[in-house]
Amino acid sequence: MIVDIQTETIIDRPLAEVAAYAANPDNAPEWYVNIKSVEWVTKPPLQLGSQLAFVAHFLGRRMAYTYEVTELIPGKRFIMRTAEGPFPMETTYEWEAVETNRTKMKLRNRGEPSGFSRLMAPLMKTAMRRANRKDLAMLKNILEKAK
């Protein structure tokens, strides 16, 4: 079963500001509900091939995984795929200017669980959708307070 969750929100901030903040891995623990830490495996700056080690808590379990940046178009799209971890996952951020100072941000998580994770896929989908909504709400709150 493929898990494919996409959520979006409108943030009352300019596209460049939203994209710069969201695509900075160092900010992830501030706006992602489940991410507890991020460490650079490769040296900054963020570029194609950059690797980042994440530690998260999800469904009561600690998860450690490494993402690799597979696409980076500043202000448009940012894609990371797990290089190693509990199950293959791809995370995509996309940004679109709605108005001069408003940005639509889409967050998509897609993967195909295997082993024990496969049995948990329906529960994972629900939990991931809820977490993604909370993540985008937190991001919106952080950036709109910075006005």
Number of domains in the chain: 1
pLDDT higher than threshold 90 for residue 116: no
CATH number of the domain at 114, please. 3.30.530.20
pLDDT tens by residue, 31-89:
999 999 999 999 999 999 999 999 998 878 888 899 999 999 999 999 999 966 667 89
Q: How far apart are alpha carbons 2 and 116 in whole angstroms?
A: 14
Beta strand extents in 14-88 (DSSP E only): 35-40, 51-58, 61-73, 77-84
Domain span including residue 45: 3-145
Whether the per-residue pLDDT at 102 is higher than 70: the answer is yes
* DSSP reduced 3-state for 44: coil
Dihedral sign, CA of 129, 106, 110, 51? negative
Q: Within 13 Å of residue 7, how many CA atoms lie on the same side as its CB? A: 18
Q: Express each pLDDT in 15-27 by its tens digit.
A: 999 999 999 999 9
